[in-house]
Amino acid sequence: MAKEFVRKTYYNSVYSALQDGTIPIQVISGPRQVGKTTLALHLKENWRGPSIYEAADKPAIPSTAWIEEYWNKARTLATGKNCVLLILDEVQKITGWSEKVKALVDEDKRHKTNIKVLILGSSALLVQRGLTESLTGRFELHRIPHWSYSECLECFGLKLEDYLLFGGYPGAIPINKNYARWGRFVRDSIIETVVGKDVLLMSPVQKPALLRQVLGVACAHPAQILSYQKMMGQLSEAGNTTTIAHYLHLLSAAYVLATLQRWSGNKIRLRNSIPKLILRDNSLANAMTFPSGGEELHNPAWKGRLVENAVGAALIPLAEQNGGELLYWRERDLEVDYIFKLGKRLLAIEVKSGRAGKQPDGLTAFLAHNKEATGLIIGNTRTDAGISAISLEDFFQAPERILKKI
């Protein structure tokens, strides 16, 4: 069923950009196992003209000659009025790929060769590095995030409670009735593949065991503010704060997690803040932290963390797509879960997963000191006049509706 599911929003965006032809290179970047290749193959199938799809994700990483080989095949098909679609998957792993693509695109422009290029990649760092080094002004980037709740509901009929527990990897959802099997699949087929094929290729990793331990600590602390010193205290492998920060950066670039900074109104203080860890998909937290399931999964405190993490994971791509930032706020014992910053506008967001209670003190304090900000509560809480609230179900059905609150 999932194989037939097309993520319509992203498909339509990429297809329109390819048809428009103003920008020569279209780039799809996003996590593994979320349907990038499926989307590309649907584009190929529906393309009105010749098309070529090739992937560089091979045991032996090819050279730039591989790119040129398939590019030349596309050129032989670009005759008369034929517009050829050339799709290159995981090309960012090839050393010097961006310089080669730039040279070929510029040649096609000089000779008016009608080729539309689509590049796919699962490493934000490697893709972005190549794009900014050589392809400035020649590409348009489409970020494809993890599956949303509404997509999982439409494709699998997944309930919100199960989405919060099992996440949105389409390959894992059909086997979630067997928790142990589901967990093994997430760890072996997703997490280990990302670590082995993406993270370890991005940058020299002197201590792979430490990298995996850092990932384990992050998975055990979803939506928590955790200093590098506290992380070090939970690692059996020796490391320092600089190394831990670097490994978190690599995991972020592989779409495993995100580190949110504290909002302070001061950029210098913001950069030096203690990070808040958000896993990009809740499956990572449960599969890594509770490999065999058990009662711990239904602990109210853990479930509260999962809800808060899932909200953050939904807000991050929303901020990325709209040119915003997602932060958090904390002063002494007061805290606001998320600060959604869009230009000069601020939306202070508090997540409540339990029974309805009084308005959170942190949100009240933040709004009192930041008159330009708007407040929003996601979940079951009574609110004062002027502060909006939205249920968890309504939020996850359409996270973009919060943009109207700012």
pLDDT at 381: 66
Contacts of residues 38-45 at CB distance under 8 Å and 24 or more positions apart, as own/partner, are 38/3, 38/6, 39/6, 39/7, 39/10, 39/11, 39/14, 39/144, 40/87, 40/89, 40/118, 40/120, 42/6, 42/11, 43/11, 43/14, 43/15, 43/18, 43/85, 43/87, 43/118, 44/85, 44/87
First-to-last alpha carbon distance for the chain, in angstroms, is 37
Kind of pairing, strands 276-279 and 115-121?
Answer: unpaired
Domains, in order of start, for the chain: 2-143 (3.40.50.300), 149-405 (no CATH)
pLDDT at 257: 96
pLDDT at 1: 38
pLDDT at 122: 81
pLDDT tens digit sequence for 292-336: 887 788 899 999 999 999 999 999 999 999 999 999 999 989 999
pLDDT tens digit sequence for 201-222: 777 888 899 999 999 999 999 9
312: tokens are 């953050």
Is it the case that residue 2 has pLDDT exceeding 60? no
Is it the case that residue 65 has pLDDT exceeding 50? yes
Task: Summarize the confidence of residues 88-104 as an average pLDDT.
Answer: 91
Distant-in-sequence, close-in-space partners of 265: CB < 8 Å, separation ≥ 6? none
Is it the case that residue 395 has pLDDT exceeding 60? yes
pLDDT at 130: 77
pLDDT at 382: 63
Task: Summarize the confidence of residues 276-281 as an average pLDDT.
Answer: 98
* Contact present, 175 and 162 (Cβ < 8 Å): no
DSSP 3-state assignment of 333?
coil
Cα angle 127-130-132, degrees, rounded to a multiple of 5: 105
pLDDT tens digit sequence for 124-161: 776 777 787 788 888 999 999 999 999 999 999 999 99
Is it the case that residue 270 has pLDDT exceeding 70? no
pLDDT at 356: 60
Is it the case that residue 182 has pLDDT exceeding 70? yes
Q: Report the percent of the chain where pLDDT is more than 90.
A: 71
Distance CA 209, CA 207 (A): 5
Q: Pick from 146, 119, 150: which is nearest to 135 by CA?
A: 119
99: tokens are 């310089």
Q: In what order do the strands lie in the sheet with 257-260?
A: 224-225, 276-279, 257-260
Task: Summarize the confidence of residues 94-108 as an average pLDDT.
Answer: 92
Q: Pick from 176, 138, 390: which is nearest to 282 by CA?
A: 176
pLDDT tens digit sequence for 334-370: 999 999 999 999 999 999 987 666 678 899 999 999 9
Considering the chain, what is the average pLDDT of its residues? 90
Distant-in-sequence, close-in-space partners of 42: CB < 8 Å, separation ≥ 6? 6, 11
